[in-house]
Amino acid sequence: MPRRREPEIATIDAFSHDGRGIAAIEGKKVFVPGVLPGERLRMVRRKVHRGYDEAELLEVLVPSPQRLEPRCTAFGVCGGCALQHVSAGKQRHIKEQALRDSLKRVGGVAPQRWLEPLFDPLPESGWQYRRRARLAVRDVSAKGRVLVGFREQHTTLIADMHRCEVLVSPLDGLIEPLSELIGSLSIRKRLPQIEVAAADNATELVFRVLDPPSPEDREKLQRFGFEQGLRISLQPGGTDTLQPLYPESPAEALFYELPQFDLRIHFKPVDFIQVNGAVNRLLVAAAVELLQLKENDRVLDLFCGIGNFSLPLARRAGHVLGIEGTAVQVSRAQSNAVLNDIGNCDFRCADLAAVDGREGWLRQDWHGVLLDPPRSGADAVVRHMKRLGPERIVYVSCHPATLARDARVLTAEQGYVLEAAGIVDMFPHTAHTEAIAVFARSPRRGGRK
């Protein structure tokens, strides 16, 4: 076995589920990012495990004819994108294969039909799409500058980058100006991150500050906001400590629109929203359609957030109940219902990871259930689905493995069939796979129990 960090020559045999290349060396798999099957390369192993190793690409010696030139100069170092060297169609193929394999291997299931991938079809749609991000910040004396951006692939260090090709405008061009701005502040070593949020009406930066900025710092931050046409806020503690700095009293809240449903959804810059606005519109429309709603149907939206699915569902159904584990998000969802003059949608705060069967909403009749859980999935909820008894379930997933685990419970224990599934390309150029799945009540099942 070569020593760790000793360069080696290898040939890539296949792709892994996360878009890395796989080289087989003396019976051991070595995973290498940024490569294509058939390529010969020089690499160095960075992480050695018992059953496999992880390596860093040093040089492609014999490139694949399918290789594309990455647009970003930080590609291969920055851990944000893993697939810029792969065509958009091939990227979606990799993600669909990851979903297929997870459903089969973890869930022991396959859908009756595969949905067409959801993606923004416009030219250049894979670039400048990301409207929410958390940028890391670190003052690096050895480089003589403050680094702003994403973590490197193999370390906790921040990649030395000057712009980001997947952030929406104007965020894509702000990496270097932010580095210079923070480098001029007295608290440059006490500012670890920046939350960025681009709404339909404005773009806001939230600076996480561990020490109060000086009056001169505040003036520089305000001037930056004015010159760049940005909103600036400070966050000295938790998300409830947000302090608008420029302007001190914004004229209106940040919002994004869902035109197909005549909705305007307000949010705070630290709220969770889907990062890709164009794909989110497609996803919401698909979820509503797949539930096959009639005007008097009752729908349960679990992990509802600020109402991204609840409010469009309320435009089509008789009544919607949204449930979310964070009181702040529930309050935001309620406000959004009022702002959009929606009276047939209620919201409730509950811990959906601790469902025990005594919840009142479990004893009500629902035509459909929409699930949009975090990466950990919806295990506690799906184990009570037989009791809920909806005709249809639409599951929006950000992690194929937990979707597959929950699909096993729904199909093997709860009396449902996996009617359809497909990928949602929310994060082009990354290996991150999102999915949507539809479960229908099995005709072999009786009524509610």
- How far from each other are the two terminal CA atoms of the chain, in whole angstroms? 59
Q: How many CB atoms lie within 10 A of CB 224?
A: 20
Estimate to the nearest angstrom the gap between the alpha carbon of 218 and the chain centroid: 32
Kindly provide the b/e burial profile for residues 33-53, where b requires at least 16 CB atoms within 10 angstroms of the residue's own CB.
bbbbebbbbebbbeebeeeeb
Sheet holding 319-324, edge to edge: 113-114, 416-424, 434-441, 392-397, 368-371, 298-302, 319-324, 345-349
Residues 6 or more apart whose CB falls under 8 angstroms from that of 186 comprise: 213, 214, 216, 217
| Distance from C-alpha of 351 to C-alpha of 366, rounded to nearest angstrom | 20
Distance CA 121, CA 276 (A): 13
Residue pair 198/171 in contact (Cβ under 8 Å)? The answer is yes
Token reading at 271: 């709220």
Identity (one letter) of the amino acid at 75? F
- Backbone phi and psi for residue 141, each to the nearest 5 degrees, phi listed first: -60, -40
Q: Is-catalytic flag, 398?
A: yes
Sheet holding 145-149, edge to edge: 145-149, 132-140, 193-198, 203-208, 231-235, 243-246
How many residues are there in the chain? 449
Question: C-alpha distances in angstroms, 168 versus 196, 198, 200, 362?
Answer: 10, 7, 11, 41
Locate tokens 């008097």: which residue? Answer: 296
Residues 6+ apart with CB under 8 A from 16: 22, 31
Of 204, 203, 176, 206, residue with least CA distance to 191? 206
Q: Which is the catalytic residue, given 72, 78, 81, 398? A: 398
> Which tokens in the block code for residue 175?
């990496």
The residues assigned a catalytic role are: 398
